Every structure is written in structure tokens, then in C-alpha cells.
Amino acid sequence: MSNTAEKHLQDALAAFDFGGEVLDASRYGCGHINDTFCVTTKPGKRYILQRISSAAFAHPEQVMSNIVGVTDYLREKIAKDGGDPERETLSIVRAKNGEASFVDGEGETWRVFPFIEDTDCLQQADTPELFEASALAFGSFQRMLADYPASTLYETIPHFHDTVDRFAKFKAALEKDVMDRAKEVGPEVEFVLAHEKDCAVCMDALHAGKLPLKVTHNDTKLNNVLIDKATGKGICVIDLDTVMPGLSINDFGDSIRFGANHSAEDEKDLSKVNFDLPLFEVYTRGFLKGCGGVLTPEEIEYLPWGAKLMTLECGIRFLTDYLDGDHYFAIHRPEHNLDRCRTQFKLVSDMEKVWEEMLAIVHKYA
Ligand code: ADP
Ligand code: GN1
Ligand code: MG
């Protein structure tokens, strides 16, 4: 994220029809990738206006093509199941020229979604019930897209969850050390190097045909699902930029990484960062229920690996960005990415200590 989004905000606002005068457009949310604004109009409606991160997405038009396809498909499915398509999936507000997005004078892409009202976006699971609600939502997302034509989807970020490739990119950043920061991160570097073999476990299982490619979300943190304030149900999975073929265990794993603990992703005091096995259990139960039988026995067997590798990989990504000079993830303090990396590695170590229990929990609900 950078402040230059404000430079083109007025142009972007003018490119869309918000159904009335725009009263306000302010930065919104806690995402690390896009520039997000909440737009309020005179008729009292709200919208999400986003500038898609060009640091993350080389082809925003491909991102939008995926989102149009997936949300059209979900809308039909939700309606058939008697749900409310306006609240249970994102809808795109097209630009005045009929396109799914607007490109500003600097070539940056903007898009608009109606704001889904009367929902909460949580940064931490306040109760196990809410965490389970998010698990049901992400599991159902897998189930609903099980028959989606995967070949029509673009790979919006190549090698996104290829942990072997993430390891290689980390080594390259370490070697270059453009910011001269490697000397500050010895223990973190050691941690990554000691886990080199682990990085290959899921990719090897994919290549061996043990794990299938599915249509997956790939960014299933708790704040990417909206919880209905009235019912406490996870009603809408958002942030669809990385929906593409991937591993189901990674959708499970990324939620565990972010939500199965009681601390913030950027907590500085590591004594507060502890993997929570009961929350792991709650999420496992909800996710498997939401998936409704679409996972193979091998996918279920590998769920703990999904949890461990998504956490390790995310820590590696934060560390790589720190070494590179913080160009990818939005940061709000100088060592932000390093703090984030440390929480992830603490969680990985915790998981390693209760590995047998994690396996037992997965077997219990398989
Ligand atoms: P990023 O990729 O930067 O995480 P997101 O698409 O997740 O961007 O959006 C950032 C935040 O904006 C979300 O965490 C959520 O709080 C809010 N948000 C996004 N879309 C909607 C929507 N349609 N309705 C309500 N809130 C939304
Ligand atoms: C980013 O977009 P956001 O903030 O929901 C990132 C995820 C990371 C996450 C770490 C496209 O998610 O992969 O796991 O930060 N998204 C992208 O919090 O890189
Ligand atoms: Mg997000």
C-alpha cells in the first residue's frame, strides 16, 4: 500500500456510478495488499472501492476475469439453494463504460463492490463459535466450487503457495541482502534453513498425485470472511483475488495459521503467541462439515501439513519482504514484517510440539 492511491481517488470515484452523490471515501479495513476505501453516498449506501495492488498482481484484468466468473457461478448456486446472492457473495459494480474495472492515468486498476452491511470482519476469533462459523464458510466455499471449471481460471500469482519456490526466493533475497538486514535476522534465517525439507512435503504430494488440484481461495484468513451480526454465521467469503487452482489443505491451513491462536499476526510479545489446539479442533470440525464430503481421505490426512506449511510459508514470505525492503506487504512500522515473521515461526514451533494431537484431531473428524 502506498499513498499514491489518493492521487487518483477522484478519477476512480468519477468512473463509477454510485447511484447518488458521494459524501465520503475513506481508507478502510486491515488488508495487507490492496488500497481499500469505503465510499458513502447521499442516498445512504456504502461501497468498497479498491485499487488492486500492482506489486502483487501483474495482470489485474485476469484477477477481475476470475472474480466475475466465480461470483456469477456462486450467485446462481446460492439462489438455487435458497440463499441471498446479494449478501452471500461479492457483486461487481461495473464502471460507467461497462468494464469490470477502471484503469487510472498511471495504469493502476480500481474496482467497486457493494458494501455488505450488518456484518463483522474479525481480526481475531472472539469466540470458538465464531471461528467455527468461519470454518463452515470456507469449507462451503470449497464445496460450492468443487465443480467449477478450473481451466477457465487464471493463475493470478504464479507459484503463490509453492513453498519450495518461496524457499528459493527467500534464499535469493538473503544472498542479495539489498537492505543489509541479514545480520539482524540470524535466528530467523536459521529457522528457515532448518525447515528446508518440510517446504517440499505438500508440493511432493501434489506431484506424486496424492493431493489433487482444486479451485481454492488461497487467502483464507479470518478477516476474509464476513460474519452476519444477527446470526453469527459466516455469510460471505471475500478477497477473491487469489481464487485459482490450488490445494484444499492450504485453505484449511491458512485459516489455522491466522486464527488458531489468541494474538495478532504482528504481536511483538511472543509469550502471547501460542498455537491453540482447541481452536484447531473447532476449525477442523467446521471446515470438514462445510466441505460436505468433497475432500479425499489423502486431503484430510494432509490437513495438519497444510496448517504447518501455510504458517511456515507465510513467515518466510514476511521475512523475504523484510530482506527485500518491504515492497509487498503493507507495513505500518519499520520492523513490521519481521515482527510478523516471528509470530509465524513461533506458531510453527508450537505445532511441531503437538503434532500427534493435531493428527488425532483430524482423524477424529475424518
Ligand atoms: P486485501 O486484499 O487488501 O486484504 P480485501 O479485499 O480483503 O483486501 O478488503 C479489505 C477489507 O475491506 C476486508 O478485510 C473487509 O474488512 C473490507 N471489505 C472488503 N470487501 C467488502 C464488502 N464487500 N463489504 C464489506 N466489507 C468489505
Ligand atoms: C495477504 O490480502 P490479505 O491481507 O487478505 C496475502 C496473504 C497472506 C496475508 C498475511 C494476495 O492477505 O497471502 O497470507 O496477507 N495476500 C496476498 O496476513 O499475497
Ligand atoms: Mg483481505
Whole-structure pTM value: 0.97
- Beta strands across the sheet bearing 119-120: 119-120, 225-228, 234-237
Pocket lining: 35 vs ligand 2, CB cutoff 6 Å: no
Q: What is the mean pLDDT of each run of 10 residues along the chain (366 residues)?
A: 83 98 97 97 98 97 98 98 97 98 97 98 96 98 96 97 98 98 98 98 98 97 98 98 98 98 98 98 98 97 98 99 98 98 98 98 96
Beta bridge partners of 38: 26, 48
pLDDT of residue 278: 98
Give residue 65's pLDDT.
Answer: 98
Nearest CA to 143 out of 347, 318, 289 is that of: 289
For residue 254, give Cα distances in angstroms to 4, 241, 318, 352: 30, 15, 14, 16
Cβ contacts of residue 44 below 8 Å, gap of 6+? none
Three cell numbers at 50? Answer: 479498491
Is 79 strand, coil or helix?
A: helix
Domains of the chain and any CATH numbers? 3-62+91-115 (3.30.200.20), 128-365 (3.90.1200.10)
Query: Quick one: pLDDT at residue 197?
Result: 98
Strand partners, 25: 39
How many A from CA of 321 to the centre of ligand 2? 13
**Strand-pair partners of 112:** 49, 93
Asked if 111 and 50 count as a contact pair (C-beta separation under 8 A), the reply is yes
What is d(CA 50, CA 66) in angstroms, rounded to the nearest whole number? 16
Ligand 3 mean position to 28 CA, how many Å?
A: 11
Q: What is the pLDDT of residue 3?
A: 59
Question: Quick check: CB of 116 below 6 Å from ligand 1?
Answer: yes
Residue 30 carries which DSSP code? -
